[in-house]
Every structure is written in C-alpha cells, then in structure tokens.
Amino acid sequence: MKKIGFIGVGIMGKSMVRNLIKAGFELHIYARTKSKVEDVVNEGAIFHDSIAECVKECEAVITIVGFPVDVEEVYFDKGNILDSVQQGTYLIDMTTTSPMLDQKIAEEGKKKGLHVLDAPVTGGDIGAKNGTLSILVGGEKADYEACMPLFEAMGTNINYQGGIGCGQHAKLANQIMIAGTLSGVCEAFTYAKAKGLDLQTLLDSVSTGAAGSKQLDTFGPKILEGDYAPGFFMKHFIKDMKLALTEANMSNINLDVLSQVLANYELLQAEGYGELGTQALIKYYEEEMEE
C-alpha cells in the first residue's frame, strides 16, 4: 500500500496524517474547508475538493470524523466512499461510532469486493502527535494484518479485537472506564478543596500510589491550572457515552456510573461547554459547591 485517502483531518487526524507521511505513504485528503488543512498540505498531503476524487485511486481509505451521522455521510451519501473506491480497497473507520454502523459499512463493502475494518483509537491528541495511539481493530484477521504498516505508523499498542464492530465495542469499554475514572478525579479534588487541602500537594502525593491513573496524570494538572483546552472534545465524549449506553441497554446491562457521568456532562453541554475538553467536568462540581 502506498496511496492512502484520509477523511477527517481534525485535532487527531492532522497528527495521524503527518505520521503517515513520515512513514512514506502518499496521503490524499479531503476537508470541507481547505484553509483548515493548509498546514498539512504544505507538509506533503494532497488536497482534493471532493471525497470521490480523494479516494478513487487509493489502496486504503481512513476515516476519523466526529459523529455517527458524519460516518453515514462520508460512506453512504452522494459521492460517497463506497461508490467511489476501486474493488479491493481497504476501508478503515477510525471514528468512535456505532458498532452497528460499521457492520452496515462492512456488509455493503463486501458486496463491492472491499475490505472493511473498524479501528477506533485511544490516546488523545498527545498519542496522535507522538504516534503512540492504542488502536482497537475489528474485522477480518487477514485484513487487520494487511493494514498493520498503516497502524504502526500511527500507534504502538495495536490489537485485534475480533470481527467487525469489535473494535468499537472495545473503544466503548475504554470510554466507560474513562468516565468513571475522570469523575473520580473530579470528585476527589472537590472533596479535598472543601476540606482545605492543597490540591497540588494532594496530586503529587497520590499520583504514584494506588489512585494513580492516566486520567489523573493527564488531566489533574490541567484541572488545577484551569486549562480546559480540548485534547478530546466534551461533545465527542458525550456521543461516546451515549453509544455505550445504547449498546448496554441492548444487552440489558445497567451502567449506573456511566449514566450519572453522562447526565453531568450533558448539563455542562447545555451551559455551552461542549467545545471544551473532557477535564471541564470539574465545572459541574464547582457549580455544585457554589449553590
């Protein structure tokens, strides 16, 4: 594989494109607004004005867009990926989306002789920049192995999860863990502040013990600094939690912690915080203390 199409050149996508270029791949990209991707175009990516033009001669196409509706659009709307690629192309959806939607893409792709994988990622903007993403892959094992050079250009912890949709299920399990952990960090800081503790001292004290976590390491300092810039948008995390709850309900599983964390985030989104990072969950507790 040499020619790669890439749809979704956002916070994560730009770094992934850069790492693929560094690995020697020829990157063809599409974005609604060219000015937003001029930086990666100047670094070697080839821009196209339409999805159809972008993907038509590529050997693999990667998508990492925002919401399930965006996945539907790029794969099924007029001028879509499925109708524009050549037989034998590998389609890799790296969006966190509905497992059922990626199964639908795979079913349609199979009719056209295409190889479809779902491969959502975790590791945030830092992992994307450093090429150290964890990549959770579902689909045919042979297709997973064929695409390994692509995955290795973007990540370091790459694992085959099972059939199509299993990558998405693994990512949703990841998001469930994050929801509980990050809410625990925010609740602990809220408690400590109310009891008059110095939060920096607390953070230094507990981060290397049993309470330590990636969420604490990544977002603890940002919360203390009041830095809510998005490495991962709150609005996208809300989408992920809703997907997880939908799938849990289909299996008659009660995820009480996830449901509460989602409700807290939705209150913040209603107040206009959806464009902030997930660490802005602390604002929910700050508002609670002020009441």
Active site residues: 171
CA–CA separation, 103 and 111 (whole Å): 13
Identify the burial level of 26 via C-beta atoms within 10 angstroms of its C-beta, where 0-12 means exposed, 13-18 middle and 19 or more buried.
Answer: middle
CA–CA separation, 59 and 89 (whole Å): 5
DSSP, collapsed to helix, strand or coil, labels residue 251 as coil
Taking a C-beta distance cutoff of 8 angstroms, is the pair 74, 63 a contact?
yes
In the chain, the N- to C-terminal Cα span, in Å, equals: 58
What stretch of H or E contains 117? strand 115-118
Query: Burial letters for 204-235: b for 16+ Cβ neighbours within 10 Å, e otherwise?
Result: eebeeeeeebebbebbbebbeeeebebbbbbb
Q: For residue 90, what are its two tokens? A: 């590998």
What is the distance, to the nearest Å, from the Cα of residue 20 to the centroid of all Cα atoms in its chain? Answer: 17
DSSP, collapsed to helix, strand or coil, labels residue 161 as strand
Phi and psi torsions of 159, nearest 5°: -135, 140
Count CA within 13 A, CB hemisphere, residue 241. Answer: 24
